[in-house]
Structure 1
Amino acid sequence: MSRARTTLAVLPVAAALLLSACSSSADIEAEQQADTGAAGASQALVVDTSPEQADRVSTDEDPDAAALVPAPIAADGKLTVGIVGAGDPPLAFLADDNSTVVGSEVDIASLVAESLGLELDVRNISWEQWPLSVQSGDVEAVFSNVGVNAERLQLFDFATYRQGIMAFTAAPDSDLSIAEAKDVAGLTLAVGSGTNQERILLDWNKANEAAGLEPATLDYYANAADALLAIKSGRVDAYLGPNPNAVYQQSKGQVAVVGTVNAGWPNTTYVAATTLKGNGLVDAVEAGLQHAFDDGSYTETLEHWGLSDEAVDAPVVNPQVAS
């Protein structure tokens, strides 16, 4: 069995994000080899990018957690999980076969499935698809950097597994520093539609307009590759997106992290496994996560992908959020 590997530089997560311009790990590996000098003094993490994922951290079945799986979901012996796999390392990206979705989100989902005694069935979906995919039953859960907010809590149940940190990324030579609303006044910012990031920027625009400042112009991008190209070409000043991707991109010298903000601003929120409201699966997912927390496989998985700084102490079902 041949296995391709790539080196991922791990930077402190005092920073945050941008998504990769690559759609396959072959592209990622080629770019990473070209950027090895830029990563230089950073601690290196070697990650398996083969479809087989022989380096994936594993756990064992927890009978108590498995007993919580609702019978209709357990019937086929699978946990069907939706993951947005369109080239967003280290969260989710395509392996060297340009088909298999791999990454930290897949590995967390795998730990849960193993804890529940189920086979993991990954479905590669788009970000816009995930709510309807859960509601229609096409997938039973989503592990895809979904942040908990008040609106989503009306329709879905959540079990938390990471802190929700967002980051502003800009060109490597940018002199921007973004910490609060006034810092984005007059800028052109890339953002994804329907995300917590968009909500934050819309709220910041309202605050700036109330203070007599020029609002930021929001440019919407359906995928990370386009947002990265927009930064490189100067069409946007910065991009606001998930922290893990920013850590990856900064390690490659593609961008500079120029600020961070919690996804629940002005409050705190978390990234969580997402299930249909009221069908009971979330209790099983929480128990499966807790099993992975207890045996160390959760911690080992985050370390494997360089995301230790986003760890939480324990999974929580439907954490309270400000409305």
Structure 2
Amino acid sequence: MSQSSAPRNSRLRSLAVLPAVVLAGMSVLTGCSDPGAQAATGEQSPAAANGVVYNSSPEQNRIRAEKDPALAAKVPAAIAKDGKLTVGTTAGSVPLSFHATDNKTPIGSELDLAQLVADKLGLDLDVQVTAWENWPLKTQSGDLEAVFSNVGINAERVKLFDFSTYRAAYMGFEAKKTSSYDIKSSADISGLKISVGSGTNQEKILLAWNKELEAAGKAPAELQYYSSDADTILALGSGRTDVNITPYPSAVYRANTRDDLKIVGKVNAGWPNETLVAATTLKDNGLAPAITDALNAVIKDGSYGEVLARWGLSEEALPASETITASNYVGGSK
């Protein structure tokens, strides 16, 4: 049975509404979580503070799923004919999608989930690393059949793409462990120096918060931009910035693998509303429902939860996946 005809979980039903702050143009299509982040290097670590052993080697021994013939039959013929699911990812944000210690093998939670979906659909996983700003056009051209790269759903994207939800979407504020920041709203960032990626959802949030501060007669935050994740963290550690805002999974990773940083706040990536992270496919090509059903199958059999636990992301797990399209997305401009 397709996801569109299945009963919907009440939590996801409310999230499927997904009202969002709308920005015009392709910046909203391409501005998401952390396109400028750089991959981590180094060998597999011992157990981190959260108990996770992060494997950054090329030998991933991924959790696998069995093919479901009924689900495989739902894949559009044009996509199934070559026997592959061609997935785009940016390989730029630990632990979501990054390069292994050989500096060429893409690994991370996003690709583990893509592997489960490909397995269920009876397809070989073909991973294509692309720059963040290129995935929309590559998906529209057919070079990519799906994108697993921390893409959040918003009103502009549903005009061009369909989505299969698979993870909660949060941004984390991180700072030095000696700091006393507790960031929950705009009032908590007044006067702070905050590093943020240009053209990202987190920048959009900070710009909106600065407007709130200015309207209240308070000093806005000073936004700072760096070309790489390494430069960003160096600035944070040296005191040139007070706080960094980044995808929450990356903040969790650093908080648990370093002894000098901690998480000092968390906000939904769709602030002031809610959004979810989703596999992204070309609008109306019929692939999204098959991916959604595959995700629900691996959620049910437990392999989805194993993948998230493997990367320390269990708190972002969803109880079910839903297909979100322009027809059932409510909120913002269409």
State the TM bucket, normalised to the shorter chain.
0.7 to 0.9
Pairwise mapping of residues 20-39 of structure 1 onto structure 2 (< 5 A)? 23-25=39-41, 27=42, 29=44, 32=45
Q: CA deviation at 1:96?
A: 2.5
SS of the equivalent of 2:195 reads strand
2:90 to 79, 84, 94: 84
Which among 68, 91, 104 is matched to residue 62 of structure 1? 68
Shift of the 113–222 alpha-carbon distance from structure 1 to 2, 3 Å rule, reads farther
Q: 1:225 aligns with which of 224, 230, 246?
A: 230
Contact 2:39 2:94 in 1 (8 A): no
Structure 2 match to 1:50: 57
- Determine the structure 2 residue equivalent to 1:270: 276
Q: CA deviation at 1:210?
A: 1.4
| 1:122-152 Cα shifts (integer Å, max 9, x gaps) | 1112222222222222211111111111122
Distance 2:35 2:180 in 1: 20
Letter in 1 for 2:236: I
The answer on 1:302 being equivalent to 2:308 is yes
Decide which of 213, 238, 253 is 2:218's aligned counterpart.
Answer: 213
Question: Residue 20 of structure 1 contacts residue 89 of structure 1 at CA under 8 Å; is this kept in 2?
Answer: no
Q: Helix, strand or coil: the match of 2:52? A: strand
Counterpart Cα distance in 2 of 1:21 and 1:316? 28
Letter in 1 for 2:295: L
The worse-fitting range, judged by mean Cα deviation, of 169-178 and 271-280 is 169-178
Post-superposition CA distance 1:164-211 (Å, at most 9, x none)? 111101122222221101111222221122322122112111211111
Give 1:285-296 correspondences, 5 Å limit.
285-296=291-302
Residue 49 of structure 1: CA displacement?
3.1
Counterpart-to-counterpart distance in 2, 1:218 and 1:211? 19
Q: Flag the 1:67–1:221 CA change in 2: closer, same or farther, 3 A.
A: farther
Tell me, yes or no, if the aligned pair for 2:198 and 2:225 is still in contact at 8 Å: yes
> How does the TM-score come out when normalised to structure 2?
0.82
Q: Report runs of 4+ in structure 1 exceeding 6 Å deviation.
A: 17-22
Question: Match of 2:199, SS?
Answer: coil
SS at match of 1:166: strand
After TM superposition, give the deviation of residue 24 of structure 1 in Å: 4.7
- In 1, Cα distance between equivalents of 2:145 and 2:222: 37
Q: Is 1:316 matched with 2:332?
A: no
Indicate conservation of the 8 Å contact 2:43/2:56, yes or no.
Answer: no
Flag structure 2 segments of 5+ consecutive residues without an equivalent: 1-32
Q: CA deviation at 1:254?
A: 4.1
Q: 1:22 to 1:320 in 2, by over 3 A?
A: closer
Q: Do 2:152 and 2:277's aligned partners in 1 also have CA atoms closer than 8 Å?
A: yes
Question: What letter corresponds to residue 331 of structure 2 in structure 1?
Answer: A
Q: Is the 8 A contact 1:21 1:226 kept in 2?
A: no
Residue 77 of structure 1 deviates from its aligned partner by 0.9
**In the TM superposition, what is the alpha-carbon distance from 1:322 to its structure 2 partner?**
3.4
Q: How far apart, in 1, do the equivalents of 2:323 and 2:161 lie? A: 11
Q: What whole-Å deviation, never above 9, does each CA across 1:209-259 have from its counterpart, x for those lacking one?
A: 111122222223454223212212323221111111111101122422111
State the Cα deviation string for residues 9-28 of structure 1 (Å, max 9, x = none). xxxxxxxx999987354x25
Q: What SS does the aligned partner of 2:194 have?
A: strand
